[in-house]
Structure 1
């Protein structure tokens, strides 16, 4: 029997995510306190410095919106990989099996949700970039806010290009019918646009903020994200140079891998960019992240979706401390003293999404659990991968083994560049598992998605399933100007 509470809550958040791209919601000066989407637009906006801050804050608030971090995001990036199964119970959200088996069609609703969520964020960034330059305000702050908006626009486009391939580039608020319904740009054009935004942002953003602004985009975030964009294009020299710039900014691995994903470990020395989530007293509508809730232990904490596969469990080497920090087993007792229901419907859950019951949760489960987007460990792994491709053995071993040693493992040994390449890819899997949906996109960029996913029992077809279908609803709204991906 399907979970009625899930359907009720899901509908409410889907409705909350239907903000028209032509609207803009206001917020207070607090970085995290963003009111529910769909509020009335102020008649006069973009007039003051406070308006500029509110506008940029709204972009950050949109990052944790349902379509951007819950079902749509996890369907495309996580259940599609060999790291996670649908989870929950067989009769609940059966459409997730379409992503698991790559039988999804252009009419499936999560596709449209993900598309809308990303472009909603892009619209908010464009409104800032179009209007904030005309505000009379502190010029240094203005320059920084515009750089933050460019970083966030690049982040949304990076999500889109990996999911759908070439997508329409909208660089300002549309005004004409043609601008409202643009054709698709090529994959290469989208990547070039992302690179320009990140390069310009990195030139301006500070390396750190005061406590009240922790969580905003930094120089390290822009450089690290640019390195990742270059990684997806196999531009190895640029990846090496950019990661080394980040490595010189003072980040360090935290000693305890498990603590990275606890609330006390948010925005630590390893954190480069996280989506901020926090319970706002008296404003549960603004405390709206459901990333943890949809993955938490069913019938105990949350909904129980996106559960670790047995293949992922077996991927961890003996003694790898990351296994216990990533996989929450049915019947175990957590370090915080929670006894995981031994009769839970699924044998395993995502421990990176676990929030102890001792944490006050006034507005629902996991509302204070940040979503880790980029960590220093990933920068080290990108550095190792680029160095390996360029034949710089010393750099490969240094960066890779820093990550392994933190996990309690011995330094790696290898024989050839090809052997090391596979070891680095494996290290990415176990380090980043169930964190931010990297595994599927990694398999695609590595050219081995069909091999790995078919071995896992998935119906992946090379030349088609590297990207998802363009939502039919968007093609219809464009009057047919948007072209579908091949095979769909």
Structure 2
């Protein structure tokens, strides 16, 4: 292992993939001549067309079945499942939070690997773009978006791994195999500068043809996430207010259709990963759809998420007189039906979803080890293509996150809490005509904090933000070290014997065993430590 090259840090070649073209070359200090069958750094970086191809390669996320990264829709959904919103039916529930996480686990290692591959590609772009002959303003914008993209990668790495190597340039083999971990504070100071300077250069809006490329708003949105994690509440409030004041984004009126292919250019979307059906595609619908609709019903939401949706009077189910334990899904926030498929209630393309045990439904509860619920969010009834080759874009950041982030930052910074502030933030989200939930009027900071956290969970479910939230709130161990439940199976739990249920009749599903003080950070991949003696492992692994 001592002679292995740390390929996730080193780049002696041009590393970028442009749709179906992989371009690589070797530095002269490794070989005497450029390879004759590939495009090298020495021959490639000439024209604006070259720069655009390279930029496409920098943005290119995993397609197909994908890998673990912060761009692929499967990977982002897995983050939410890990964070206690559900599980994959073939995992019990997952090794990240079941107490068995170790440094050899392929899932967490995958996020590390793919992050550094992209960072290397960004570094290579920044090292060579200066030699390209092109419009200087366009070049500045390209540089700004690559810096912002690299910052997005580093931000996520530090959230989940803590201190990590801060590599700003292309390294040779010796340098790559001897880097050390930089402190989170050093990295985030660097990222704040990168994101602020990038936002100042990037355009406020882009035409549809450039959808998915960083804008000033998307760079600031990543900066806002970083500042909230750092608990720089006043700074975060200023950052989010800049996005709001730009007036570049709106809250789309129809919540459910926001996630349909027909709305991929919605002004609610701040950052998204771009896909093309059958060409540069992904298989999320295959995982997502119930078997009755041709999918695998791979994901099983937990009832703990279902419970978070308020009743239509704006009160949680623990307080609302509208909540009936025998009919728990009635009179609830409409986003529940837009987000979760519930047996004998939810419909898709005119067909009722059925997961009750004892039926002939392919999605019947007792067929596999799942919760009985299915994810409805992002299921698009207009899509009739191959479920494994979807061109549906993956939404990474939406405007409601900005509004809720601004409100939370105002709460935590001690800023003035007024009804006007609520009406400009959380109530804009709740008052969509398709949702039409009562306005929030609570101005007590402690009570409002609870409301905002609940709102983030239900509004942004399965969009990859929940894990980030519970880590920065310091409640990951509380949220992930308990028993989770599935669908309601009976109204008479004391006499029910078919399956284990709790005292309210919900299926006793999976238990997690998150290790407090350890699992808040993921382990540095063991293979990286074996290559580089300067990389020290996180505590407890």
- Same fold by TM-score greater than 0.5: yes
Aligned 8 A contact 2:10 2:176 in 1: no
Give the structure with higher Rg (CA): 2
1:474 paired residue among 504, 528, 533: 528
Task: Provide the C-alpha distance between the structure 1 equivalents of 2:261 and 2:176, rounded to a whole number of angstroms.
Answer: 42
State the partner residue of 1:121: 118
Equivalent residue number for residue 458 of structure 1: 512
Q: Is the 8 A contact 1:355 1:366 kept in 2?
A: no
Distance (Å, rounded) in 1 between the aligned partners of 2:193 and 2:208: 29
- The answer as to 2:136 corresponding to 1:139 is yes
Aligned-pair CA distance for 1:402: 1.5
- 2:99 and 2:512 in contact (8 A); partners too: yes
Whether the 8 Å contact between 1:385 and 1:396 is mirrored in structure 2 is no
Q: Does 1:414 align with 2:442?
A: yes
Return closer, same or farther for 1:58/1:360 CA change in 2, 3 Å cut-off: farther
- Closer, same or farther in 2 for the Cα pair 1:22/1:244, shift >3 Å? same
Determine the C-alpha separation between the residues in 2 that align with 1:417 and 1:324: 30
Structure 1 position 221 matched with structure 2 position 218: yes
1:312 and 2:305 are equivalent in the alignment: yes
Quote the Cα distance in structure 1 between the aligned partners of 2:429 and 2:470. Answer: 21
User: What's 1:66 paired with?
Assistant: 67
> Within 5 A, what are the aligned runs for 1:193-208?
193-208=190-205
Q: Which residue of 2 aligns with 1:361?
A: 385
Q: Write the deviation string for residues 437-467 of structure 1: whole angstroms up to 9, x where unpaired.
A: x112211111222222224442122211111
TM-aligned CA deviation for residue 41 of structure 1? 4.0
Q: Does 1:52 align with 2:43?
A: no
1:103, distance to aligned residue in structure 2 (A):
1.6
Moved more, 205-214 or 55-64: 55-64
Tell me how far 1:19 sits from its aligned partner. 12
CA contact (8 A) 1:106 1:472 kept: yes
User: 2-side partners of 1:207 and 1:193: how far apart?
Assistant: 23
Distance 1:293 1:181, change over 3 A: farther
Structure 1 CA distance, aligned partners of 2:118 and 2:38? 17
In the alignment, is residue 387 of structure 1 matched against residue 410 of structure 2? Answer: yes
Cα gap change, 1:104 to 1:299, in 2 (>3 Å): farther
Query: CA, structure 1 residues 415+393, in 2 after alignment: closer, same or farther (shift >3 Å)?
Result: closer
- Of Structure 1 and Structure 2, the greater helix share is in 1
- 8 Å contact from structure 1 (residues 23, 41) kept in 2: no
Residues 191 and 229 of structure 1 are in contact (CA less than 8 Å); yes or no, is this contact kept in structure 2? yes
Shift of the 333–400 alpha-carbon distance from structure 1 to 2, 3 Å rule, reads closer
Identify which of 169, 172, 188 aligns with 2:169: 172
Distance of 2:302 and 2:535 partners within structure 1: 36
Alignment map for 1:3-402 (pairs within 5 Å): 22-24=12-14, 34-35=19-20, 41-43=38-40, 44-62=43-61, 65-68=66-69, 69=72, 74-75=77-78, 77-87=79-89, 92=90, 97-250=94-247, 251-279=249-277, 284=279, 287-298=280-291, 300-319=293-312, 320-330=333-343, 334=347, 336-337=349-350, 340=353, 342-344=361-363, 345=368, 346=370, 347-356=372-381, 358-362=382-386, 364-365=387-388, 367-389=390-412, 390-394=414-418, 396-398=421-423, 399-402=425-428
Conserved in 2, the CA contact under 8 Å of 1:388 and 1:396? no
Displacement of 1:48: 1.5
Distance 1:174 1:273, change over 3 A: same
Q: Which moved more, 1:244-253 or 1:456-465?
A: 456-465
In the aligned structure 1, how far is the partner of 2:210 from the partner of 2:73? Answer: 25
Q: Deviations over 1:243-264 (max 9, x none)?
A: 1110012211000110111111
Instruction: Give the count of matched residue pairs.
Output: 452
Partners of 1:331 and 1:343 within 8 A in 2? no
- 2:452 corresponds to: 424
* Structure 2 CA distance for aligned equivalents of residues 353 and 98 of structure 1: 26
CA contact (8 A) 2:198 2:219 kept: yes
Distance 1:70 1:110 in 2: 15
Kept after mapping to 2: 8 A contact 1:230/1:239: yes
- TM-score, length-normalised on structure 1? 0.85
Q: Could you say if the C-alpha distance between residues 22 and 314 of structure 1 is closer, same or farther in structure 2, counting changes exceeding 3 Å?
A: farther
1:20 CA drift (Å): 8.7
Quote the offset at 1:433 in angstroms. 0.7
Aligned-residue RMSD, C-alpha: 2.6
Distance in 1 separating the partners of 2:263 and 2:75: 27
Are the aligned partners of 1:330 and 1:343 in contact in 2 as well (CA < 8 Å)? Answer: no
The normalised TM-score by structure 2 is 0.77
**Contact 1:450–1:461 at 8 Å: present in 2 too?**
yes
